[in-house]
Amino acid sequence: MARAWRRCAVVLIAAGVVWGEEPIRDEGLRREILAAVWPGAKVSVVEGKRIDDSYAFLDHQFPDAMKDERVYRVVGPPRDPSEECAAEGIVGEHRPSRERLLRMRAWTATSGEDLVAIFQYQFLHNQPALACESIARAVHLVRHDGRLQVERIFTLEMTHHHGVQGADLMDLSGHGTWGLAVQSDFGGGGTAASELVVLGLYRGELQQWLNVPSQWIGWDAYSQKLDLARTRATSAAQFCFVKTTLFENGEKLATPRVTRPCYPRFTGEKVDER
């Protein structure tokens, strides 16, 4: 069950420096980020195209937070096992796809040296396995000698993944520890769920601070929402939630049960990183 609750991931990328609250809109810098993550790939904008992967699961809405983002075509060979899985097809004989349809959102520190980007994309012209239908990734980049370089990549759960449901900055501590909250869905077997992953930028290194379920829709049904005021009261040493339980063991509760758990930093499973 530990793996099963990965359906709607929330990633918080927190920094001890002040991050720009608004996403990067400068197209030159966005292209520079894409070139750093996929060196040598051919990148172009798909003019006039928008993608909206919003959907509902048992009356629970999964909006697409990236639906208004610019769409890029990134052409180049798969660069790692996750991309190889997503580029392969399970029907017929053909070469792995080289063409990604991609959306991104990125932020920068006020120093301009550290950047974090969220990518949502899939390979075209193939029918991949359900374990790798599409990819959501958080990438930490640093500028060395004027050139952007990838420091670390975190790949979110890919099974039955469709899109990103949220991507927002927040001050986790109340005094400049900014966090990027990203919701990214996945699931299977008649179940939809969510995880909250916290990635912290500490002394120039992006670290995972937390991974706990934020939503579960199946035999049990509950949701957890981050309580920012209580989290700030701990200076983000703990991450506090309001948890609402609707079903337990397949039985609907007569009255939803509300609890307020807190999780210490470094709670939960590690996500795939390189």
pLDDT at 18 > cutoff 60: no
Of 8-12, 158-162, 205-209, 243-247, give the lowest mean pLDDT range. Answer: 8-12
pLDDT of residue 235: 92
Of 91-100, 120-129, 135-144, give the lowest mean pLDDT range. Answer: 91-100
Of 176-185, 207-216, 233-242, give the lowest mean pLDDT range. Answer: 176-185
CA distances from 199 to 151, 169, 177 (A): 13, 13, 12
Which is more confidently placed, 176 or 10?
A: 176
CA angle (68 as vertex; 14, 102 as ends), nearest 5: 75
> What mean pLDDT comes out for the span 227-239?
93
d(CA 114, CA 112): 6
What token pair was written down for 66? 């990236």
Sign of the four-CA dihedral 116, 82, 45, 43: positive
User: H helices within 63-106, ranges in order?
Assistant: 81-87
pLDDT at 155 > cutoff 50: yes
pLDDT of residue 15: 40
